[in-house]
Amino acid sequence: MNWKAVAAAAAMAGMAFGSVTAAEGTHDSRIALMKQIGGSAGALAAIAKGTKPYDAEAVKAALTTIATTAKVFPDQFKPGSDMNDPEVSPKLWENMDDFKARAAKLSTEAETALAQLPADAAAVGATVNTLGATCGGCHKAYRLKD
């Protein structure tokens, strides 16, 4: 078991949780959570590309982070939160049910992959493609680029 990967994931989750609870619903809290998902997706992509060796514990940690973070991400967009965030489309608040469904889909996809743990780089690549399509769809609908 790769305890370093597990410890690193737990430390990252703890840091992000602390920063999110300090200023929930702000641009910075949203970015902190997205960085967790992005970092986990990057770790999976490195395995899929072969730039990092396959490590089941690292895959588990990344998928767990994506699943749990996607579940709580919509909480950053409650009424009264920062609706003037320059990276968030006003459409998000108009279509909150769709946004929540997209986040739930990402979480479910990560949980499904975790339950059927990808056993090699090719399987991790297929998982990255699935998760990436879901992430990209939400970004296309609700993220504004500067």
- List the binding residues for heme c: 135, 138-139
Extract the annotated binding site: 135, 138-139
Report the chain's terminal Cα–Cα distance, integer Å. 42
With b meaning 16 or more CB within 10 Å and e meaning fewer, what string describes 81-100?
Answer: bbeebeebbeebeeeeeebe
Q: 90 in helix, strand or coil?
A: coil
Q: How far apart are CA 129 and CA 113, in angstroms?
A: 12
Strands (E), 10-139: none
Rounding to the nearest 10 degrees, give the CA dihedral for residues 16, 131, 104, 83: 60
